Amino acid sequence: MDGAMTALPLVFDAPRRGRPPRHLADLTREEARAAVAELGQPAFRADQLARHFYRGVTDPAQMTDLPAAVREDLAAALLPGLLTPVRTLSADGGRTRKTLWRLHDGALVESVLMRYPDRATVCISSQAGCGMACPFCATGQNGLTRNLSAAEITGQAVAAAAAMASGAVTGGPGRLSNVVFMGMGEPLANYARVRRTLDALVTPAPHGLGLSQRSVTVSTVGVVPAIRRLTEEGLAVTLAVSLHAPDDELRDTLVPVNTRWKVAEVVAAADAYAERTGRRYSVEYALIRDVNDQPDRADALGRLLAGRRAHVNLIPLNPTPGSRWDASPLPAQREFVTRLRAHGVPTTVRDTRGQDIDGACGQLAAADRVEGVPAVALPQPSLEPPVEMGAEADQ
């Protein structure tokens, strides 16, 4: 760490910008039925609309179970197009697909779909930009543009599910099995909309995608009151905590939210979540050369997590062009893993999917900004696209 580190303020309250149009996925089932009734239609039309939305049907002409005379109006009122694909890049033989989306106000966000032999995971964004100001993360350095609506967040998962179902992803038609909130933004700083999205993800058809709770991972940098709130919700989604340092001194600078909630508070909140759900949480740790990858930090992390219901997921930092932050060399990574395991802490190193398509979340948006796309372009955090961790972590 050097003295040139940018110190930005933490931003929890998103700037108020024009809201995206109301969408069925912003509403509960009851609210959707009421909205349809207000449009002079029987309430069950809400179920029909929902079925189309969660199957990825966007063209009203295909909604043949709706009377032709009302299809367009109902779709316009409750299924407005919120995500316009700007581009999709493929990697890993077509098994990884990264999509850059333009929102109604020109903001750009991304999602990454990764297919594995046993699962298909989409990494989605919950905010345009991020207010958490992590200095190694270009998205953080460029601040928070706005919160995404529930429908904008949900829509990314729906698009991934539709891509899987259609056979557009190498490997033939399949099913989206996992969702991770590890794209742009801090999900728990956009709590209400992320909460609504969680419902949409785990609710069975027609009003949701019907995923299992444990296959949905909410990742946080450590917004402790929101972790506690999530604990009280009675959900069993997987929790991932981005720690990146075991000690407050380093974490205060590397993860500035630590100036609000210290390592001990974050870990205690995660412990309480694990206690209530009976399941391990994941500790995300970006390995940054000569910053947080020293053997004594591995030992400190091991001591901190020993005996807890935690699994460490090490992420070799994906260096971004022009950044002074670099990934730890392989020997340092191995040493870190060895020391954590010596403390009895389950540890894995994250897959590095999609590197050849600027796989770090946010890099497509950055590329578009460079090319001058007239939009609120968003730069890149430096983390790899995440992989679902259920296979090794009982997530």
Residues lying near ligand SF4 in the complex (CB under 6 A): 130, 132-134, 137, 139-140, 186, 221, 381
Looking at the Cβ atoms of 123 and 169, the one nearer to ligand SF4 is 123
Residue 123 annotated to the active site: no
CA separation (Å) from 142 to 56, 151, 184?
Answer: 32, 24, 11
- In whole angstroms, the minimum distance from the beta carbon of 379 to ligand SF4 comes to 10
The residue with its CB nearest to ligand SF4 is 140
Find out whether 242 is annotated in a ligand binding site: yes
Find out whether 186 is annotated in a ligand binding site: yes
Q: Could you tell me where the DSSP H helices lie in the chain?
A: 29-38, 44-54, 68-78, 138-141, 150-166, 191-202, 224-232, 248-254, 263-277, 295-305, 330-342, 363-370, 390-393
Looking at the Cβ atoms of 120 and 266, the one nearer to ligand SF4 is 266
Find out whether 343 is annotated in a ligand binding site: no
CB 224 within 8 A of CB 266: yes
- In whole angstroms, the minimum distance from the beta carbon of 266 to ligand SF4 comes to 13
- In whole angstroms, the minimum distance from the beta carbon of 134 to ligand SF4 comes to 3
List, in order, residues 6 or more apart from 31 with CB less than 8 Å away: none
Q: Give the span between the Cα atoms of 364 and 379, in whole angstroms.
A: 8
Peptide bond into 379 cis (omega under 30): no
Q: What is the dihedral of CA 98, 102, 108, 111, to 10 degrees?
A: -30
Looking at the Cβ atoms of 163 and 360, the one nearer to ligand SF4 is 360
Looking at the Cβ atoms of 41 and 363, the one nearer to ligand SF4 is 363
Residue 361 annotated to the active site: yes
CB 293 within 8 A of CB 242: no
Q: Which of the residues 123, 152, 361, 388 is marked catalytic?
A: 361
Looking at the Cβ atoms of 177 and 217, the one nearer to ligand SF4 is 217
Find out whether 134 is annotated in a ligand binding site: yes
Q: Give the span between the Cα atoms of 256 and 267, in whole angstroms.
A: 16
C-beta neighbour count of 125 within 10 angstroms: 29
Find out whether 185 is annotated in a ligand binding site: yes
Find out whether 318 is annotated in a ligand binding site: yes
- In whole angstroms, the minimum distance from the beta carbon of 367 to ligand SF4 comes to 17
- In whole angstroms, the minimum distance from the beta carbon of 171 to ligand SF4 comes to 30
Question: Rg of the Cα trace of the chain?
Answer: 21
Q: Give the span between the Cα atoms of 105 and 33, in whole angstroms.
A: 28
Query: Residues comprising the binding site for [4Fe-4S] cluster?
Result: 130, 134, 137
The binding site for S-adenosyl-L-methionine comprises 185-186, 219, 242-244, 318
The residues assigned a catalytic role are 110, 361
